[in-house]
Amino acid sequence: MLEFMDPMLFWATLALQLVGLVSVVLARLPRRCPLQCACFRTLFFGCLIGLAVATMVAIEAQSGSWAWCGTTFSVMAVGATLDLRSSMVVTGF
């Protein structure tokens, strides 16, 4: 496993995964300030792209960390599209 041979790469991808998961929560929180909303969404998309690249690099390097990066990428993608608001009741056409 290459992530144990290069601890810097292992800890960097772990930190990217944790920041990515936190950015999902921050991107989904309701805010009043448009600048704060834009910053959190930019952080989210940056982490999403970073995890996609890390997954591809880990697959190319035949490292076992590709599964963790890919799983975090998937959780971020689903978390960003998950609608947590209450559903609207439609009374008719």
| Domain ranges across the chain | 2-78
Q: What pTM does this model have?
A: 0.76
Q: How confident is the model at residue 3 (pLDDT cuts 50, 70, 90)?
A: very low
**Where would I find the H helices in 7-81?**
7-28, 34-60, 66-81
Report which of 44, 72, 53, 58 is spatially closest to residue 10, judged by C-alpha positions. 58
Please report, to the nearest 10 degrees, the dihedral formed by the alpha carbons of residues 80, 81, 86, 88 taken in order.
150
CA pair distance 60, 63, nearest whole angstrom = 8
Over residues 38-56, the mean pLDDT reads 91
